[in-house]
Structure 1
Amino acid sequence: MKLKIYLLLILFFLVSCKKEIIEPAKTENKFYDKAYDFLSTGEKDSAFIYFNLAQNTFSQNKDSARIGNSMVNMAILQSEAGDYYGSQETSLGAIKYLNKKEEKLYPILYSNYNNLGITSRNLGDYKNAVLFYDNAIAFATSQSEINTCLNNKAICYKFLENYSASLQIFKDVFKNIDPVKDQKGYARIVDNLAFVKFLQNKNYDAEMDMNAALKIREKAEDLWGQNASHSHLSDYFADKSIEKSLFHAHRMYEISKKIKSPDDQLEALQKLVDLENPVHSKKYYKIYVNLEDSLTNVRNKAKNQFALIRYDSEKNRVDLLKAEAKNIENRYQILQRNIALGAVFLAFIFAVFWNRKRKERLKQEKIFEVKNTALKYSKKVHDVVSNGIYQVMSEIENTSEIDKEGLLDKLEIVYEKSRDISYEDLTGNADSDFKMQIANLTKSFSSETLKTIIIGNEEILWSKIPQDLKTDIKLILQELLVNTKKHSEAKKIILKFEIVANRLQIAYSDDGIGFTNNIEKKNGLQNVETRIFSQKGNLTFGETTGKGANVFISFPLKKG
């Protein structure tokens, strides 16, 4: 929504004064709209109150642009009421809310800096007034606004008695004035230019130009302009013609009352006191004193009123902030409670979910454990019973005379081992001489057609091997021997044991048909591989298809 601004251009000290109301579009802020309603009917005190209320409402909504606009309007109202210091404070405070990069805010920025220029000039701070007018020019949106600020700037240089700078500005403005389209602006420049030339050079004849400007203003019914012309002409004739000076002073006084400008009335009365005869001078002096006292009282009252309004507003704002802080604190406590309840609820849901998952995991682990147990016993039956029986069968096959008692003893051992599987007692006589166990194992597979050669089967070597590893090695070798006997058609088996770099290395080879390129690891070889890997060992099959089988096994040994 386009922002509008109530522009009050109050030009004191011989500058034409213009008041303009730009009606804004309606907003959602009822205080803001009401302020403009009061402004349009001339109820300026009420307008100030509602602009202040609107500012507080916009502050809650963080509407910076309208906060600044409300404050600029308040500052202009303060300036018009003569509260120049209060006006400056409000205008300066508005700057931080107005984004200088937004072109739609240029009219507001222009009015604000122009107001700061006016208040500074009315406080006699002409140097700062010049700086504020320069800022206003930077945000002017028309040549008319630029000319107004330049005119005011030139007036400041006049009061600083820098007549050269003042004249140069008036001459520059004169070049940009269209006497047809802007008769008031043209008359103002002609009048000011002539008057400043007179101030610079008391012998300069300014009467013709100033009278020409007055006639233009009278034709245009520009009372503010006529007021300024009569002021200049009265000062111009003060040392040349008392009658003419007095005439223009009276005209200024009459017009200043019509335009209701107390400052111009005081200026006119001051001239009349200085120019009139003693009788009339005394009368005008009394009027001057009464008016000055009245104006001072009115302005002091306005200052106090504005200050009181701001104080009450600030107090209400603080109370509102306290109430909001209390509400926030209450909402925070409710939020904390809700978070705690939510956390408890989530913890409960998590506990239920975790417990359910735990039960499912335990169930799966139980199933897995049962499967592993079944697989474990299946392996043991294969390794202990099947291979044990096959070993006995091989021995019978390779022996010409059967020792019935010995055969029964061996079958008894296999039977005992099969019965002890569930008790994990598979070591048999592992504690006996392991060298002899390995020798008897290989011998049981030897025959006239199959010879077994063992290298490195020494007691000193097996003394360095842990008992659990010995058990696995015996079962691994038994599986390999069974596999060779069944499938390889080998005539010779070589088995070598040695310890290298703290690792037990076993090399198993035969001269049979060998392994295929893609070795199919059925139960037997799968069990071999599983046992090797369970002891963190390595297993390698040599690629010797048609030339025999080579198997390399190694196990890490603990340093000690």
Structure 2
Amino acid sequence: MQTETDSLGQLIKEIGVFAKKKDYQSAIIHSKKLLHKAQFASDSSYIINAYWRQGYYFKRMDQLDSAYFYFDKSYSMNLKLHDSIGAGDRLLDMANIQKSLGDYSGGMITATEGLKYLEGSNEIESITGLYQTISVCQKELGNYKESLRWNDKIFSLLNAHPTADITTENLSAITITRANILAALHSYNSSFGILDRIAQSTKGNNQIQYSRAICNMGHFKWLENKNNPESESLLLNSLKIRQELNTVSGLISSTIHLAEYYFETNKPLALTYAQKAFAYSKKLNNSVAILEALDLLLPLKKSLGQDVSEEAIYYSKVQNKLEKTKQAVRSIYAATKYDNDTLEKRNLMLLAQVANKEKQNIMALSATVISLILIVFVVFYKNQQKKKEQLEMAYKTELRLSKKLHDELGNDIFYLMTQVQKDPQEIVASEKVIILEGLNSIYKRIRDISKEYTAINTGENFGKEFLALLNSYSSPKTKIITKELTSDFWDKVSAEAKIEVYRVLQELLVNMKKHSQASMVAITCAKNNKQVVIKYVDNGVGFNATENYLGNGLTNVENRMNGINGNINFDSKQNEGVTATITFAI
């Protein structure tokens, strides 16, 4: 009797037959069938395999945005199953697509992300692939020294793992990349030495690598010296071999370099090679290569007085298509990176079937009853704790108010009274100024105390009051940086949460004014459908976060946030300011 797994395995064999025939369209159709069957069977390994196959076959058809999409689906499934090796391999596939589209910054970021999952493992081939992608992207971005550093990492890794299974083709590509980087750094002799060794070792047994080595050598010799007699013969010899092998990607490279070689000295011949490069690029359906060929073809035709309208229109179409593909790939990456919660439900593993339904129902019912009892207990306990905290907070508030009035205002008022009781003729002008300034200071502090203990309007004007609170702590010595929020920012926030957040920010600012010596404070507010995030940052003296830094004020702040099921996290070092991140659910 054939099992579901046998059926999936048979389907993979059928897909393999189509792939060998290069019938990728049929391979994709059957890969979709594989995905559907694997999802029905809740077989996560086959689900991942089906996604990967679709990515691979779409890539073979040069439909790179679709290829990236399915590689990304496979990557997401790897993450859910904690398969770090699979996740790293898929990120390598995705980074190489970005690199082939000319999105070198994006490719470098994706490859670096892949290293998080693979570095330290025994997947040496995949790690070298990621290093190689980063190195090539750095080179294309003009960061040649950084590119060489990543290339060095490859050889250090291979030296540390001499038995690693690296194909000759991959090793040759890595070595030629090194020669290209050295040439870009004008270390031509070192570059020629590498290419000459490759040419000598591959001349009789690997014509593809041999033709590549002498093509690059001819191009670099021309870059070093435009009159080098070897350049032309090397380039033409490479072209001849590639014509015999009929390697389209190699023919593109040869004809591009020959068009560049003859560009200044023989424009008609340069145009011939540029047109050939254009034709080969169209055959390969490689948008980046097409644009590179047209970048040579258009100025050559123009300088020879030929019409360029048709090629110019084609250039615009290809460029637009390439940019749309890049944008599609970037949007897929962004969705995976920053919005994993919205991944399609069909990507999740289907729940395993439980053989005994009756037993499952009993267990589920038992779990529900236990959960309800726990929920009732937790709610009751939380309510009791909240009442206790509210009583304690009210008592502490009374103590704080009494202390403020006595310690902060009583002594100053008594001092001013003694000054006023003097004979008016004995009070000099400077003392009058001191008395007036003292009265003004007392008035401001009374106003601040009133603001601290006055009821807060949580209605539609709350946003204005909140902003006014923040800005009220600005002074010539301390600049407060805030950003005005949209009118509906606080709409879905409860009145209780508004009050607690208002008091928390008030406490932070009072604490800043007393202790931090900060010259600048920045406060930002952000919101999504689930929560509000408020970030407070100052450049004051800070504190040692490893020590017990929570005084009464900051303890109250934590209690307030706990009361609305929120959090406040402090990050600080001595003399490096304070960062406080406040989060609470809407």
TM-score by length of 1: 0.49
Could you say which structure has the larger radius of gyration? Answer: 1
TM-score by length of 2: 0.47
